[in-house]
């Protein structure tokens, strides 16, 4: 794993309520990390802080490449990505949604076409590429979110409850996709779920957030 | 009653025959209002983005003032532009008074607050998750802002439609700064006012019908685009 993530003693509170207290963990090997815990235990907050969407109140997030700490700039942010629980769909076609990360990186048109089609094929949405993405079901939206994240070849892929509001069929498809990513060996997946069975099916490393702290299970 | 019917029938004859004077008036109306709309959008859209994305002192007051300006009385704007452009005014040396350019300036001032204010509302009502998604995919600050503006495009278009309605229908400001000079600054609304005064109802009515028809056509076209954009979504 060329990109390592060190979470050191982070604290976070919202409106005076502590959500995370002194959380530390080192993500330094390839594989699928699954963070478990009931709803509202701080999993999302932890992922959002790791994905550089939010700042911790105290403590530090550091990414390392070949033991050098990386600056938290756009260049680093482009090596990691987080699929939000509600995805955050743009009012555009499924194709253009999926192509977004490539377009903002200035990737050539032909390359975009090729990568997006292959990603949409991977998540089983190639037949819907010209549909407006806001018409997708929540399961399809989640799959598109994963395709949109995968096209940019992230080194770390954060998934926040990817199956929380999804039917059984889509849960199976999404779990299957995560297993395929695991088989490919990249990217490293760090996901949050409250589903114990799912955690056990997918995880290489199982973690738990309990009483505002993260620990290995 | 008879005179109204007669006026209508003469108006339709005028429209069907489409004389050159009438065409010139219609063309100038569209040119002045269209140019004002384009200029107001070019200034108003970046302004609305600035208001939406940047924090600055007295921002709330600024937005309130902008909202108030949406209802600016056209005659007051006309007076203001007149004073600005009149020979003794600060911009008098440009010699713009009683030209189509003066009319464009006045209508731009009327359209700008509408476009800026409604675009601002559209931009701030884009769901925060869109911004977050764009950030997680590696967008720079500028790219995030452009993505949000893009998401707000149909709301922004509503602002442009509203501004178009206002400037096309407006008469007070362009009458003051344009002077209603035949063949030069005479547009549909000023002609209607003049011809009504003269008791020449058929030409006034013909222009009124054409004005309504053009407004209806342009609004329908914009509305169709907007509806198409919205219909595809679950929102």
Question: CB of A170 within 8 A of CB of A140?
Answer: yes
Domain ranges of chain B: 2-231
Query: What is the band of B205 on the pLDDT scale with cuts at 50, 70, 90?
Result: confident
Which chain A residues are closer than 8 Å to B133 by Cβ? 84, 87-90
More confident residue, B3 or A89: A89
User: Which of B222, B115, B137, B105 minimizes the C-alpha distance to A101?
Assistant: B137
**Window A:71-110, CB contacts with B under 8 Å:** 74, 77-78, 81-84, 86-91, 100-101, 104-105
Strand order in the sheet with A17-27: A17-27, A3-14, A58-65, A68-69
> Of A94-98, A106-110, B69-73, B221-225, where does mean pLDDT reach its minimum?
B221-225
With tokens 């395709």, the residue in question is A147
Query: How does the average pLDDT of chain B come out, rounded?
Result: 91
| Chain A / chain B CB contacts < 8 angstroms | 64
With tokens 């995805």, the residue in question is A87
A50 to chain B, minimum CA–CA distance in Å? 11
Instruction: Give mean pLDDT, residues B100-129.
Output: 96
CATH 3.40.190.10 at A30-52+77-216, yes or no: no
Element (H, E) at A205: strand A205-210
List, in sequence order, every residue forming a beta bridge with A205; answer none if it has no partner: A33
B235 has a pLDDT exceeding 80: no
Which chain B residues are closer than 8 Å to A135 by Cβ? 232-234
Which chain A residues are closer than 8 Å to B129 by Cβ? 84, 86-88
Considering only CB atoms, B129 lies closest to which of A86, A105, A134, namely A86
ipTM of the complex: 0.92
Domain ranges of chain A: 30-52+77-216
Question: CB of B200 within 8 A of CB of B138?
Answer: no
Query: What is the band of B1 on the pLDDT scale with cuts at 50, 70, 90?
Result: low
User: Which of A100, A78, A87 minimizes the C-alpha distance to A162?
Assistant: A87
> Over its length of 217 residues, how does chain A's per-residue pLDDT go in tens digits?
589 999 999 999 998 888 999 999 999 988 899 999 888 889 999 999 999 999 999 999 999 998 899 999 999 999 999 999 999 999 999 999 999 999 999 999 999 999 999 999 999 999 999 999 999 999 999 999 999 999 999 999 999 999 988 889 989 999 999 998 888 878 999 999 999 999 999 999 999 999 898 988 8
Considering only CB atoms, A135 lies closest to which of B132, B151, B234, namely B234
Contacts of A21 (CB under 8 A, 6+ apart): A11, A211, A212, A213
Considering only CB atoms, B136 lies closest to which of A51, A105, A132, namely A51
Considering only CB atoms, B136 lies closest to which of A84, A105, A132, namely A84
Identify the residue among A55, A79, A91, A135 best suited for mutation to test binding to B, counting B beta carbons within 10 A and taking the highest. Answer: A91
User: Which of A177, A152, A151 minimizes the C-alpha distance to A163?
Assistant: A177
Tokens of B160: 């442009």
Is there a contact between A74 and B136 if contact means CB atoms under 8 Å apart?
A: no
pLDDT value of residue B234: 45
Instruction: Give mean pLDDT, residues B86-103.
Output: 94
Which chain B residues are closer than 8 Å to A87 by Cβ? 129, 133
Considering only CB atoms, A87 lies closest to which of B133, B151, B234, namely B133
Q: CATH homologous superfamily for B2-231?
A: MetI-like (1.10.3720.10)
Is there a contact between B143 and A149 if contact means CB atoms under 8 Å apart?
A: no
Which chain B residues are closer than 8 Å to A101 by Cβ? 137-138
pLDDT value of residue B163: 94
Which chain B residues are closer than 8 Å to A90 by Cβ? 130, 133-134, 147, 150-151
Identify the residue among B131, B133, B148, B153 best suited for mutation to test binding to A, counting A beta carbons within 10 A and taking the highest. Answer: B133
Query: What is the band of B230 on the pLDDT scale with cuts at 50, 70, 90?
Result: low
Which chain B residues are closer than 8 Å to A132 by Cβ? 232-233
Which range of A93-102, B150-159, B209-218 scores highest in mean pLDDT? It is A93-102
Considering only CB atoms, A53 lies closest to which of B136, B150, B232, namely B136
B231 has a pLDDT exceeding 60: no
pLDDT value of residue B18: 74
């Amino acid at each position: 794993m060329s990109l390592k993530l060190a979470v050191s003693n982070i604290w976070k509170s919202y409106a005076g309520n502590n959500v995370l207290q002194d959380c530390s963990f080192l993500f330094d090997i390839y594989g699928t990390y699954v963070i478990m815990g009931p709803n509202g235990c701080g999993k999302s907050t932890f992922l959002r802080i790791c994905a550089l969407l939010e700042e911790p109140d105290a403590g530090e997030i550091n990414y390392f490449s070949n033991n050098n700490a990386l600056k938290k700039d756009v260049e680093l942010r482009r090596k990691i990505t987080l699929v939000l629980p509600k995805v955050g769909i743009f009012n555009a076609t499924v194709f253009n949604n999926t192509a977004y990360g490539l377009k903002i990186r200035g990737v050539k048109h032909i390359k975009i076409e090729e990568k997006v089609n292959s990603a949409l094929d991977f998540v089983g949405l190639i037949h819907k590429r010209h549909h407006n993405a806001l018409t997708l079901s929540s399961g399809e939206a989640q799959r598109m979110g994963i395709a949109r994240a995968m096209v940019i070849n992230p080194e770390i892929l954060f998934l926040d409850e990817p199956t929380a509001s999804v039917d059984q069929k889509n849960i199976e498809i999404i779990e299957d996709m995560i297993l395929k990513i695991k088989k490919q060996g990249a990217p490293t997946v760090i996901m949050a779920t409250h589903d114990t069975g799912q955690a056990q099916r997918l995880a290489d490393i199982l973690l738990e957030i309990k009483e505002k702290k993260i620990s290995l299970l | 009653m008879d005179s109204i019917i007669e006026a209508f029938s003469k108006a339709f004859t005028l429209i069907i025959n489409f004389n050159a004077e009438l065409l010139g008036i219609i063309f100038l109306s569209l040119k002045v209002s269209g140019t004002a709309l384009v200029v107001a959008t070019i200034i108003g859209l970046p302004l609305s983005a600035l208001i939406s994305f940047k924090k600055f002192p007295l921002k709330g007051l600024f937005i309130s003032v902008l909202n108030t300006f949406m209802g600016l009385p056209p005659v007051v704007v006309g007076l203001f532009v007149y004073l600005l452009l009149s020979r003794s005014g600060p911009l008098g040396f440009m010699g713009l008074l009683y030209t189509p350019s003066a009319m464009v300036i006045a209508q731009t001032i009327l359209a700008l607050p509408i476009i800026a204010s409604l675009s601002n509302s559209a931009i701030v009502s884009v769901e925060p998750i869109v911004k977050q998604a764009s950030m997680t995919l590696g967008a720079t600050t500028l790219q995030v802002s452009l993505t949000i503006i893009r998401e707000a495009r149909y709301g922004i278009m509503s602002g442009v439609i509203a501004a178009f309605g206002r400037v096309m229908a407006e008469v007070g400001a362009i009458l003051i700064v344009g002077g209603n000079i035949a063949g030069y600054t005479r547009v549909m609304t000023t002609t209607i006012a003049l011809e009504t005064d003269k008791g020449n109802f058929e030409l006034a009515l013909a222009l009124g019908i054409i004005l309504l028809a053009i407004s209806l056509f342009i609004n329908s076209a914009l509305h169709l685009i907007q509806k198409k954009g919205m219909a595809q979504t679950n929102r």
